[in-house]
Amino acid sequence: MPRRPLRLQVRPSTLRSAVRWNSTSTTTAAEGSAPFTPGSEQYKGYTKYVLDKRNNPTPILSNEELSERISRIPLKNYRNFIIVAHIDHGKSTLSDRLLEITGVVNPTVDNKQVLDKLDVERERGITVKAQTVSMIYHYRGEDYMLHLVDSPGHVDFRLEVIRSYASCQGALLLVDASEGIKAQTVANFYLAYSMNLHLIPVINKIDLDTADVPRAEDQIEETFELLRDDIVHVSAKTGFNVEYLLPKIIEDVPAPPAEKYNRELPLRAQVVDSWYDPYVGVIMLVNVVDGSLKKGDKVEFCKTSERYEVKEVGVMYPDRRPLPLLVAGQVAYVIPGFKDPNNVFVGDTLRKVGSAVEPLPGFEEPKPMVFVGAFPADGTDFKKMEESLQHLFLNDRSVVFQRTTSNALGQGWKLGFLGSLHASIFKDRLEKEHGKNLIITAPTVPYKVAFKGGREKIISNPDDFPDGTKKSSVVQLSEPYVEALMTFPKEYTGAVMTLCENNRGQQKELQYLSNGQTLMKYDIPTAHLIDDFFGKLKGVTRGYASLDYDDAGYKPSDIYKMELLQFEVVIQARANGRVVARETIKARRKDVLAKLHASDISRRKKLLSKQKEGKKHMKSVGQVHIANDAFQAFLRRE
Ligand SMILES: Nc1nc2c(ncn2[C@@H]2O[C@H](COP(=O)(O)OP(=O)(O)OP(=O)(O)O)[C@@H](O)[C@H]2O)c(=O)[nH]1
Task: Say whether 540 sits in a helix, a strand or coil.
Answer: helix
Asked if pLDDT for residue 510 goes beyond 70, the answer is yes
Q: Is the CB of 207 under 6 A from ligand 1?
A: yes
Q: Is the CB of 151 under 6 A from ligand 1?
A: no
pLDDT value of position 17:
29
| 457 assigned ligand-binding residue | no
pLDDT value of position 395:
66
| Ligand 1 atom closest to 151 (CA) | 23
The average confidence (pLDDT) of the chain is: 77
pLDDT value of position 311:
95
Q: Are strands 198-204 and 170-176 parallel, antiparallel or unpaired?
A: parallel
Asked if pLDDT for residue 458 goes beyond 80, the answer is yes
Residues 121 and 208 in one domain: yes
Q: How far apart are CA 119 and CA 499, in angstroms?
A: 34
- Say which CATH number the domain at 222 has: 3.40.50.300
Cβ atoms of 130 and 149 closer than 8 Å: yes
Residues 410 and 466 in one domain: no
Residues 142 and 96 in one domain: yes
- Say which CATH number the domain at 391 has: 3.30.70.870
Residues 514 and 469 in one domain: yes
Residues 153 and 88 in one domain: yes
Instruction: Choose which residue among 118, 237, 548 to substitute to test ligand 1 binding: the one with the highest number of ligand atoms within 8 A of its C-beta.
Output: 237
**Beta carbons within 10 angstroms of residue 314's beta carbon:** 24
| 206 assigned ligand-binding residue | yes
pLDDT value of position 497:
96
Distance 515 CA to ligand 1 centre (A): 22
Q: How far apart are CA 517 and CA 511, in angstroms?
A: 9
Whether 635 maps to a domain, the answer reads no
pLDDT value of position 383:
84
Whether 318 maps to a domain, the answer reads yes
Range among 1-15, 37-51, 148-162, 200-214 rated most confident: 200-214
Q: Which candidate, 556, 548, 638, 551, places its Cα nearest to that of 370?
A: 551
Instruction: Kindly compute the dihedral angle of the four CA atoms of residues 24, 28, 31, 33, in this order, to the nearest 10 degrees.
Output: 10
- pTM recorded for the entire structure: 0.68
pLDDT value of position 638:
44
Whether 237 maps to a domain, the answer reads yes
Instruction: Choose which residue among 93, 207, 421, 546 to substitute to test ligand 1 binding: the one with the highest number of ligand atoms within 8 A of its C-beta.
Output: 93
Q: How far apart are CA 32 and CA 22, in angstroms?
A: 14
Instruction: Kindly compute the dihedral angle of the four CA atoms of residues 125, 127, 132, 137, in this order, to the nearest 10 degrees.
Output: 50
E strand or H helix at 247: helix 245-252
Whether 148 maps to a domain, the answer reads yes
Average pLDDT over residues 526-553: 83
| 198 assigned ligand-binding residue | no
Instruction: Give the end of a domain, one of 217, 252, 287.
Output: 252
Q: How far apart are CA 477 and CA 315, in angstroms?
A: 50
**Beta carbons within 10 angstroms of residue 381's beta carbon:** 11
Cβ atoms of 223 and 513 closer than 8 Å: yes
Whether 89 maps to a domain, the answer reads yes
Q: Is the CB of 147 under 6 A from ligand 1?
A: no
Q: How far apart are CA 254 and CA 542, in angstroms?
A: 42
Residue 353: band (very low, low, confident or very high) from pLDDT cuts 50, 70, 90: very high
Omega of the bond prior to 35 within 30 degrees of 0, cis? yes
| 86 assigned ligand-binding residue | yes
| 88 assigned ligand-binding residue | yes
Residues 70 and 197 in one domain: yes
pLDDT value of position 9:
29
Q: How far apart are CA 24 and CA 165, in angstroms?
A: 37
Top-confidence residue, 522 or 282: 522
Distance 535 CA to ligand 1 centre (A): 21
Cβ atoms of 554 and 160 closer than 8 Å: no
Q: Is the CB of 164 under 6 A from ligand 1?
A: no
Q: Is the CB of 89 under 6 A from ligand 1?
A: yes
Q: How far apart are CA 613 and CA 609, in angstroms?
A: 6
- Phi-psi domain of 541 (left: phi exceeds 0; alpha: psi -120 through 50; beta: other): alpha
Q: Are strands 78-85 and 142-150 parallel, antiparallel or unpaired?
A: parallel
| 205 assigned ligand-binding residue | yes
Which letter does DSSP use for residue 239 in this model? T
Nearest CA to ligand 1 atom 24: 126
| Ligand 1 atom closest to 112 (CA) | 29
Determine the number of helices (DSSP H) and then strands (DSSP E) in the chain. Answer: 15, 28
**What phi and psi, each to the nearest 5 degrees, are found at residue 15?**
-125, 125
Q: Are strands 349-352 and 410-417 parallel, antiparallel or unpaired?
A: unpaired
- 3-class secondary structure for 397-432? CCCEEEEEEECCCEEEEEEEECCHHHHHHHHHHHHH
In angstroms, the Cα distances linking 576 to 486, 571, 581 are 66, 17, 12
Burial class (CB in 10 A: 0-12, 13-18, 19+), 67: middle
Top-confidence residue, 108 or 472: 472
Q: Are strands 170-176 and 78-85 parallel, antiparallel or unpaired?
A: parallel
Residues 302 and 171 in one domain: no
Whether 475 maps to a domain, the answer reads yes
Instruction: Give the end of a domain, one of 405, 440, 475.
Output: 440
Asked if pLDDT for residue 384 goes beyond 60, the answer is yes
Residues 427 and 284 in one domain: no
Q: Is the CB of 205 under 6 A from ligand 1?
A: yes
DSSP for 50-99 reads HHHHHHSPPPPPPHHHHHHHHHT--GGGEEEEEEEESTTSSHHHHHHHHH
- Residue 164 CA, chain-centre distance (Å), reads 12
Q: Is the CB of 185 under 6 A from ligand 1?
A: no
Whether 114 maps to a domain, the answer reads yes
Judged by average pLDDT, the poorest of 67-71, 320-324, 379-383 is 379-383
Residues 210 and 330 in one domain: no
Judged by average pLDDT, the poorest of 246-260, 350-364, 565-579 is 565-579
Which letter does DSSP use for residue 559 in this model? -
Rounded to whole angstroms, the maximal C-alpha distance in the chain is 98
Q: How far apart are CA 507 and CA 524, in angstroms?
A: 9
Asked if pLDDT for residue 524 goes beyond 50, the answer is yes
- Say which CATH number the domain at 282 has: 2.40.30.10
Instruction: Choose which residue among 46, 50, 88 to substitute to test ligand 1 binding: the one with the highest number of ligand atoms within 8 A of its C-beta.
Output: 88
| Ligand 1 atom closest to 236 (CA) | 31
Top-confidence residue, 569 or 198: 198
pLDDT value of position 289:
95
Q: Is the CB of 85 under 6 A from ligand 1?
A: yes
Per residue in 186-217, pLDDT (tens digit) is 878 888 888 889 999 999 999 888 899 998 99
Per residue in 32-59, pLDDT (tens digit) is 333 345 555 555 555 555 566 666 666 7
**Core vs surface per residue 597-613: b (16+ CB within 10 A) or e:** eeeeeeeeeebeeebee
Q: What share of the chain is helix, strand, coil (3-state, %, to 5)?
A: 30, 30, 40
Residue type, 470: K
Whether 634 maps to a domain, the answer reads no
Task: Compute the C-alpha angle 279/280/285, nearest 5°.
Answer: 130
Residues 248 and 180 in one domain: yes
Distance 582 CA to ligand 1 centre (A): 63
- Phi-psi domain of 514 (left: phi exceeds 0; alpha: psi -120 through 50; beta: other): alpha
Domain containing residue 412: 370-440
Number of domains in the chain: 5
Top-confidence residue, 21 or 514: 514
Instruction: Give the end of a domain, one of 526, 556, 586.
Output: 556
Residues 329 and 378 in one domain: no
Average pLDDT over residues 100-128: 60
- Say which CATH number the domain at 503 has: 3.30.70.240
Residues 399 and 536 in one domain: no
| 598 assigned ligand-binding residue | no
